[in-house]
Structures are given as structure tokens and as C-alpha cells.
Amino acid sequence: MTDSAAAPPHPTIAQLQGTSLADLVQAELERLILQGVLAPGDKLTEAALAAQLGVSRGPLREAFRRLEEAGLVRTEKNRGVFVRSPPIDEVLEIFEVRAMMDQYIGRKLAQSLGTAQVRELRRMADEMDRAAKAGDADTFHASNLQFHDRLLALAGNQKLAATYRKLTKELTLHRRQNLSGESMAVFAREHKQIVKAIASGDAEAAGEAMFRHVMNSRERTLHKHLQQQAAAA
């Protein structure tokens, strides 16, 4: 029996046809870095990764170049490529830039969101609250990233989104280290305050709630860094 039309391509094949090997390698390495499988300071060895991912060194080197532009790896002359962790001064500056971006996002969403979108955000905030009460840091971290990315998407500014997501990736290590039972409870409460302010339509209150949320994270990050320095001394 002969089919009259060709079968539709398998989704994975269709995806591969529209995606370069360098794109796929970059996405996989980025996933490993952001999930902590590849830790700050780890060396990315070309030969080992090429064998592991089943690709040649060309796409791998292109992926390294893009990851360096994204601030996730660094290249050291005569030594190789290493997973990067931004120095504390740079981290604190990123938080400050993020705070200003989030303030704008909060103001805009308070003036534009409908009931269904607010309900969606409230549901996401409730999920984080449950994860915090259960002490589930992994679920909380993933839900937190989804919540802020959803706020960003609802703001509808593509240029802002590209810059914001780059900064978020650079902060991932530090944000994940900030999670504890106490801090998750605080974060969950702040998220609910953000949603409440957005739902009220008060642009100033929503902007301030998001600004303070990020600046509070900045202060927690600095406090943890100083604690680590004191312990090392």
C-alpha cells in the first residue's frame, strides 16, 4: 500500500532542520550551567564535550563564543574555557539594573492586565507559596524563574526582554544560593504583594513592589557574600 502523501516529519527532526548544531550545543551547555551540573570554575574541555554531545569541535567553539558573549563562560589564554561566576560587584550592579527594569514592568502591567492574566499570576504565586512551605527549593527556584519570565512576556517589550533574560542568566547561581526556608517564605510573600498591587491597577504601588523585591534580593546576596568571606577568613 502506497501513501498518497508523505508523512509529516517527526517534531524532533523538524526542529533540527531549522536549528543549527551550534544552537543546539549552546542550548545544552546553557542548560547544564544554569542547572548547576557545570559549576563555576569548571573547565569546558573541547574533546570531552564533543564526544559527549556527538558533534565536531566547530559547533562547540561557536557555542563557546556565544556563551562568552552571554556572560556564562570565560576564555583564559593558554588555559581554555571555564564556567564563569560574576564577581560580587558586578552581581550587585546587575540587581540594580534589574530593579529598574522590574519597576517599569510592574507599572506597565498594573495599567494593562486583564482579569484572566492576573488570575494566572496569582496561581503561579500560590504554587511558589506551596513550594516554600514544603521546603522544596528546586520547585520554588523553577517556579520563580517562570513567574518573572511571565511578567516579562506580558510586558510585551522584546528589546527589554532580551536584555532582562541575559541578566537573569548571569544571576542564576547567586539567586539559587539565596534560597533557604526563611528566604523562600519572604520571596513568596513578596510575590503575592506584587500580584496584589498589579491587580489593584495602582501603577506606582506595583512598580515599587517589584523594585523592592529585586533590591531585597540584592541585599540578601551581599549579606551572604559577606558571611562567606567571614567564614573563609
Contact in structure between 136 and 53 (CB atoms under 8 Å): no
- DSSP string covering 219-230, please? HHHHHHHHHHHH
Asked which of 5-14, 160-169, 216-225 is least confident by mean pLDDT, the reply is 5-14
pLDDT of residue 15: 46
Asked which of 5-19, 92-106, 107-121, 156-170 is least confident by mean pLDDT, the reply is 5-19
pLDDT of residue 8: 45
Q: Does domain 88-232 have CATH number 1.20.120.530?
A: yes
Fold observed for domain 11-83 = Arc Repressor Mutant, subunit A (1.10.10)
Q: Please compute the mean of the pLDDT values over residues 39-67 and round it to a whole number.
A: 91
pLDDT of residue 127: 96
C-alpha 206: how far from its chain's center? Answer: 21
The per-residue pLDDT for range 13-36, each reduced to its tens digit, is 344 444 588 899 999 998 888 877
DSSP assignment, residue 72? Answer: S
The model's confidence at residue 75, banded by pLDDT at 50, 70 and 90, is very high
Enumerate the domain spans of the chain: 11-83, 88-232
Handedness of CA 101, 103, 107, 113 (dihedral sign): positive
Q: Please compute the mean of the pLDDT values over residues 157-184 and round it to a whole number.
A: 82
pLDDT of residue 93: 96
Residue 101 has pLDDT above 50, yes or no: yes
Q: Quote the percentage of the chain above a pLDDT of 70.
A: 88
Residue 62 has pLDDT above 50, yes or no: yes
Residue 228 has pLDDT above 50, yes or no: yes
Asked which of 31-40, 150-159, 194-203 is least confident by mean pLDDT, the reply is 31-40
Residue with the bigger pLDDT between 69 and 99: it is: 99
Handedness of CA 126, 130, 135, 137 (dihedral sign): negative
Q: How far is the C-alpha of 199 from the C-alpha of 110, rounded, in Å? A: 6
The model's confidence at residue 11, banded by pLDDT at 50, 70 and 90, is very low
Residue 86 has pLDDT above 90, yes or no: no
CA-to-CA dists, residue 174 to 11, 92, 120, 132, angstroms: 35, 10, 27, 18
Q: How far is the C-alpha of 83 from the C-alpha of 43, rounded, in Å? A: 7
Nearest to 96 by CA among 214, 222, 226, 224: 214
Residue 180 has pLDDT above 90, yes or no: no
- For residue 113, the SS3 value is coil
pLDDT of residue 173: 64
pLDDT of residue 6: 46
